[in-house]
Amino acid sequence: MKVTVNIECTPIEARQFFGLPDVEPLQKAMMERLQEQMEDQMAKLSPEELMKSWLMPGMENFSKFQQAMWSAATGKSDD
């Protein structure tokens, strides 16, 4: 014997029927937080920020390299 029962209800009604908690407020809060984090990360991907993060360490290293080469060429030490 095979019995099929079809129940039409909304997800909210099903959660209430089974006694499950309403997670909609938590879901909204988490989605807002996720959106804020994504917007912050997108701001870091702006061309200006990328150039700063790529060029600044490179310029500092180049300056140190240049000082080392100058010291080696002149026989002087900056220390």
Angle, vertex CA 7, rays to CA 5 and CA 10, nearest 5 = 160
Could you tell me which residues come within 8 angstroms of residue 22 by beta carbon, excluding any fewer than 6 positions away? Answer: 12, 15
The structural domains of the chain, with segments of one domain joined by +, span 9-55
Q: How do residues 6-46 score in pLDDT, each as one tens digit?
A: 999 998 899 999 999 988 899 999 999 999 998 888 777 77
Question: pTM for the full model?
Answer: 0.42
